[in-house]
Chains A and B, each alone.
Chain A
Amino acid sequence: MDILIILIKIFMMIGFLMVMGLLLTWVERKQSAVMQDRIGANRADILGMRLMGLFHPLADALKLLTKEDFVPPSGSRFIHTLAPFIAFTTALVGFAVIPFGPPIHLFHREITLQVADIHVGILFVFVAAGLSIYGVILAGWSSANRYSLLGALRGAAQTISYEVSIGLSVIGLLMVFGSLSLSEIAHAQGDLIWGFLPRWGVMVQPLGFLIFFTAAVAETKRVPFDLPEGESEIIGFFLEYSGMKFGLLWIGEFVEIVVMSGLITALFFGGWQVPFLYEHGFEFPWGTRAGLPHGLVLTLQVASFVFKVAFFCWFQMLVRWTFPRFRYDQLMRLGWKGLLPLSLLNILVTGIVILVFD
């Protein structure tokens, strides 16, 4: 029975991520178009129905599935095939520890709305993110192409550099909430500071959030940190990929955006928490109460999680279509001389504040 529940949750999660990933390909096209006073892809139609270009992801999938699967003659066929799977799986698996709702009681058992409630959830996410470097490196190396190798090396150096900052930036948060488990962190963010301010991560760790968000965008390897891809200069580690293998790397990138949004939501924006909404309804700090049935509360909370994730996907797209690409030395300077000292400072200040006030 437990296995069945977990399986259902896994399928729900994968479904959610894949749908979000496909939708994001549409969002990327449309949002960039609207930002740039254009209309965007709207030509794919089924029986004359266009639905604002929503059929383009389907057309993309069909195109990628029917394209020739090319492996460079001097490349390594096995590793060339393996790399996109590693990249995609490691992108996907990070979402397993992110809670998307409070535990529910159903059929006399407690069901956590989270695929795996690991005690060291945050570490698990970082492990998955760290493993994703293998996808990049293997893809670049097995292609037997200088440019893709260059892209892979850039990707590895960048991911490793920013992993330091991303790891250190959450330490302040862990000190405040005192737990590595994402479900406990999400739960703790339902409290209030001074009786009226939601105790979200971003309220107690604003600097930590800034560092984390910057490093998270760098981890997803998108503009302005898209040096591994650098489509105008080296095309990137997936230069020699075509067909659905390229599709995996491509969708993996979008899935990574969703996972990063989920992580930002869970760590810094209260996870599934709605401000002032508790188990039995709203309780506002000025004393107003509004009782709500349990089912409605639950729906609101899950909806708030999905809304926050969608918002951060949108925001990452906004960032992607606003800024130009960093130069490589600028990227390294920002990572090592900017974010790293700042995140260390953040830990120090957090420690002092905790010592003084507790």
Chain B
Amino acid sequence: METVKKEKRSLGFLEQLYVGEVVKGLAITGRHFFRNLFIHTAHLFGLMKSRKGAVTVQYPEERRVIPAGYRARHRLVRREDGSPRCVACMLCPTICPAQCIHVRAGESPDPAIEKYPVEFNIVLDRCVMCGLCVEACPVDAIRMDTGIVEMSAYDREEFVNRRDLLLGMNPQTPPLPKTRHG
């Protein structure tokens, strides 16, 4: 492998005088200031809406698009008849590194299906959002595509997501939430 040696350039006389370099630095920040100020002012009059004066996303009002494949809050998928697709095979509680999934299996009334989850709890405040449960599931019963990223509660008990809650959640649907980048 070839090694490239970079000469460390010492400052020239003019650079050591600071003044020129100081003016250059001020020119850069000043340029940003006046360009953004101009764009903001134009926005006030409803002009130049296509150009942005700031990269800020004003969070609670505006949201960024959640990209495809983002691991958001979990949900359980239903079959066509509405029963949970989960067959209570215990692969997800087994692989879960945070041990936050608790499944209790029961015998399914459908003779073609062996088991179904009587209880299916995800303790969200222990979850590390690794997505391994989704990977492990053999029947694609658990997904992390709800697009819900805000997870907060006043009580630990509220973090325990039970089966029916998980079954009731929907995937993030297009149209996606409105953003300035969207």
For residue A35, CB closer than 8 A to chain B, the reply is yes
Is A278 at the interface (CB under 8 A from chain B)? no
Closest to A323 in B: B25
- Is B54 a contact of A39 with CB atoms below 8 Å? yes
Say whether chain B's binding surface is mostly helix, strand, loop, or mixed.
helix
Which residues of B have CB within 8 Å of A318?
A: 26, 29-30, 33
A85 interface contact, C-beta 8 A: no
Separation of A33 and B22 alpha carbons in the complex (Å): 20
Q: Chain A residues with Cβ under 8 A from B36's Cβ?
A: 34-35, 37
A sample of 8 cross-chain residue pairs with beta-carbon separation below 8 angstroms, ordered by A number, consists of A31-B33, A34-B37, A37-B54, A37-B55, A38-B54, A210-B19, A318-B29, A318-B30
Q: Is A322 an interface residue (CB 8 A)?
A: yes
* B26–A319 CB distance below 8 A: yes
B83 at the interface (CB under 8 A from A): no
**A35-B29 CB under 8 A given contacts A210-B19, A323-B22:** yes
Contact partner of B33 among A35, A39, A210, A319, CB < 8 A? A35
- Which residue numbers of A lie inside 8 Å of B, CB to CB? 31, 33-39, 210, 318-319, 321-323, 334
Closest to A224 in B: B22
- Closest 7 pairs between A and B when the two form their complex, measured CB to CB: A39-B56, A322-B29, A35-B33, A34-B36, A39-B54, A35-B29, A322-B25
- Report whether B58 and A321 are in contact in the complex, using a CB–CB cutoff of 8 Å: no
Nearest-neighbour CB distance to chain B for A202, whole angstroms, equals 15
User: Would you call B102 an interface residue if the criterion is a C-beta within 8 Å of the partner chain's C-beta atoms?
Assistant: no
Tell me, rounded to whole Å, the shortest Cβ–Cβ distance linking A98 to chain B: 25
The answer to whether the Cβ of B32 comes within 8 Å of any Cβ in the partner chain is yes
**What is the CA–CA distance of A284 and B58 in the complex, to the nearest angstrom?**
51
B40 at the interface (CB under 8 A from A): yes
**Known contacts A34-B37, A318-B26, A322-B25; A39 and B58 CB within 8 A of each other:** yes
Question: Is the pair B32, A37 in contact by a Cβ cutoff of 8 Å?
Answer: yes
Contacts A318-B26, A322-B25, A322-B26 given: A34-B33 contact, CB under 8 Å?
Answer: yes
Residues of B within 8 Å of A31, CB to CB, are: 33
Complex CA gap A108/B13 in Å reads 60
State in angstroms the CA–CA spacing of A178 and B55 once bound together.
Answer: 53
B25–A33 CB distance below 8 A: no
Query: What residue in chain A is nearest B57 (Cβ atoms)?
Result: A39
Can you name the residue of chain A whose Cβ is closest to the Cβ of B25? A322
- State in angstroms the CA–CA spacing of A334 and B53 once bound together: 37
Nearest to B16 among chain A residues (CB) is A338
Measured between alpha carbons, how far is A318 from B58 in the docked complex, in Å?
Answer: 25
* Residues in B neighbouring A37, C-beta threshold 8 A: 32, 36, 53-55
A318-B26, A322-B25, A323-B22 as given contacts; A35 in contact with B54, CB under 8 Å:
no
Which residue of chain A has the shortest Cβ distance to B56 in the bound complex? A39
Give the Cβ gap from A141 to chain B, nearest Cβ, in Å: 33
Seed contacts A31-B33, A34-B36; 19 additional CB < 8 Å A-B pairs: A34-B37, A34-B53, A35-B29, A35-B30, A35-B33, A35-B36, A37-B32, A37-B54, A38-B54, A39-B56, A210-B19, A318-B29, A318-B30, A319-B26, A321-B29, A322-B28, A322-B29, A323-B25, A334-B18
B31 CB to nearest A CB, Å: 9
Contacts of B26 in A (CB 8 A): 318-319, 322
Report Cα–Cα, A55/B18, bound state, in Å: 39
Give the shortest distance, in Å, between A220 (CB) and chain B (any CB).
Answer: 17
Among B26, B33, B56, residue most surrounded by chain A Cβ atoms (within 10 Å) = B33
User: CB-CB contacts of B14-47 with A at 8 A, as 1s and 0s?
Assistant: 0000110010011011101100110010000000
Rounded to whole angstroms, the CA-CA distance of A116 and B140 in the bound complex is 83
> Once the chains bind, are B29 and A33 in contact (CB under 8 Å)?
no
Q: Is the CB of B29 within 8 A of A38?
A: no
Which residue of B has the minimal Cβ distance to A314?
B33
Task: State how many angstroms separate the Cβ of A341 from the closest Cβ of chain B.
Answer: 13
Min Cβ gap B102→A in Å is: 41
Complex CA gap A319/B18 in Å reads 13
